[in-house]
Amino acid sequence: MHRCLQLAKKGVYTVAPNPMVGCVITVADPSMPYGERIIGEGYHRYFGGPHAEVEAIGAVPDPDMLVGAKVYVNLEPCSHHGKTPPCAHLLIDKKIGEVVVGMADPNPLVAGRGLAILREAGVKVVVNALQTEAQWLNRKFVVFHAKRRPYVLIKWAQSRDSYIGRRLGTAVGLSNPRSMQSVHRARSHYASIMVGKNTAINDNPTLNLRHWAGKHPLRILLDAQLESPLDLNMLCDGNKTLVVNEIRGDETTWPSYLKINPHELEDVLAALYDREVQSVMVEGGSELLQSFIDRNLWDEAWVYDTPHVLGHGVAAPKLVHQKLLGKYPIDGDTITQYINNISIES
Ligand code: AOF
Ligand code: ZN
């Protein structure tokens, strides 16, 4: 299963909004350290492409070897006809003897049916092997289906005296170039980035991907009364932006306009769910970040502590219900990562 997770991760840039899935096929071999020998492995490589089980089966040189073989896969084999036929049926057709699964598929299209199909056909099924690791790997996919909203990362940089910036007008670059690069790496893993109107106007950010390879995330601007000037980078550089506002609805061109009260964050997230936006990174400002915290609508938080001292300015948000994930130095800055204790348990 560790090998499945390792393989699954190779799809990190290319499979979303599908989950990352790896698959390993073994046969009994008493001469091997664990009594099993790997005869094939594979992973879900890109969105719309073959599922991990199909790849692994395809990698086995002789189909006869599959009869009675054991399949490890970090997600329940699918039961639905999607872009590919159901994997559960494929495993039965190939006469697989046993399937070891990391976690059930939270996608309502599957949700236990894959396991049931296998068991009904007499295949031995073992569930929840490395379940915590499997769920962590696909946490965006899990939250998206289980909570019917995108996975939310809130992120900010703060001065030593806990300000995220000056009050008006001028953007302050707090984090160092290495920290910036780590932010861009994170952006490459997120479907969208959200900011409030004040941040858009004061900082005029581009919010695109420059210091890491990958796709530009969808930008989401919360601007109830459409006060942002149209020559802001976010609105005129040709990349995608969705402006959430109370005045105008038009999703035929970019920038697009979504008519929802942006203060109702639950409604905004529900609308993003409907548009299959699986994850959102909230980059500020402080008021917006605090609203996500106060409504307990966040899953992960990254705080960059920098050595700058501002003396005054906009106070950094205050986290509650956080559980420390890890703390890492980045060239003089420190990034502290948390998960939401309550969000994960509920
Ligand atoms: C598997 N193995 O490798 C993956 C699975 O549109 P489709 O046909 O690609 O189906 C996508 C759904 O299939 C996805 O939301 C999830 O429920 C499941 N993904 N299942 O058996 C895989 N990637
Ligand atoms: Zn499948």
How many angstroms separate the alpha carbon of residue 75 from the centre of ligand 2? 9
Q: Look at ligand 1, atom 17, and give the residue with the nearest C-alpha.
A: 107
Residues β-bridged to residue 100: 72, 126
Q: In the prediction, which pLDDT does 213 show?
A: 87
Q: How do residues 5-37 score in pLDDT, each as one tens digit?
A: 999 999 999 999 999 999 999 999 999 988 999
Question: How buried is residue 103: exposed, middle or buried, by Cβ count under 10 Å (0-12/13-18/19+)?
Answer: buried
Tokens in use for 61?
């040189």
Q: Which of 7, 47, 55, 75 to mutate to test the pocket of ligand 1 (most atoms within 8 A of CB)?
A: 75
**Residue 52: left if φ>0, alpha if ψ -120 to 50, beta else—which one?**
alpha
Q: Kindly tell me if the per-residue pLDDT of 346 is higher than 70.
A: no
Mean pLDDT, the chain, rounded, equals: 94
Q: In the prediction, which pLDDT does 171 show?
A: 62
pTM beyond 0.85 = yes
52 lines ligand 1 (CB under 6 A): yes
Question: Mean pLDDT, to the nearest integer, of 140-159?
Answer: 96
51 lines ligand 1 (CB under 6 A): yes
Q: Kindly tell me if the per-residue pLDDT of 170 is higher than 70.
A: no
Q: In the prediction, which pLDDT does 175 show?
A: 84
Q: How do residues 224-265 score in pLDDT, each as one tens digit?
A: 999 999 999 999 999 999 999 999 999 999 999 999 999 999
Cis bond leading into 255, ω under 30°? yes
Q: In the prediction, which pLDDT does 81 show?
A: 87
How many angstroms separate the alpha carbon of residue 78 from the centre of ligand 2? 4
Q: Which of 18, 57, 144, 148 to mutate to test the pocket of ligand 1 (most atoms within 8 A of CB)?
A: 18
Q: In the prediction, which pLDDT does 167 show?
A: 73
Q: Kindly tell me if the per-residue pLDDT of 84 is higher than 90.
A: no
Walk me through the domains of the chain, giving residue ranges and CATH numbers.
Answer: 2-141 (3.40.140.10), 149-345 (3.40.430.10)
What ligand 1 atom has the least distance to the C-alpha of 48? 9
Q: In the prediction, which pLDDT does 54 show?
A: 97
Q: How do residues 44-66 score in pLDDT, each as one tens digit?
A: 999 999 999 999 999 999 999 99
103 lines ligand 1 (CB under 6 A): no
How many angstroms separate the alpha carbon of residue 78 from the centre of ligand 1? 6
Q: In the prediction, which pLDDT does 214 show?
A: 87
Q: In the prediction, which pLDDT does 343 show?
A: 64
* Residue 51 CB contacts under 8 Å (≥ 6 apart), including other chains: 21, 44, 77, 78, 84, 87
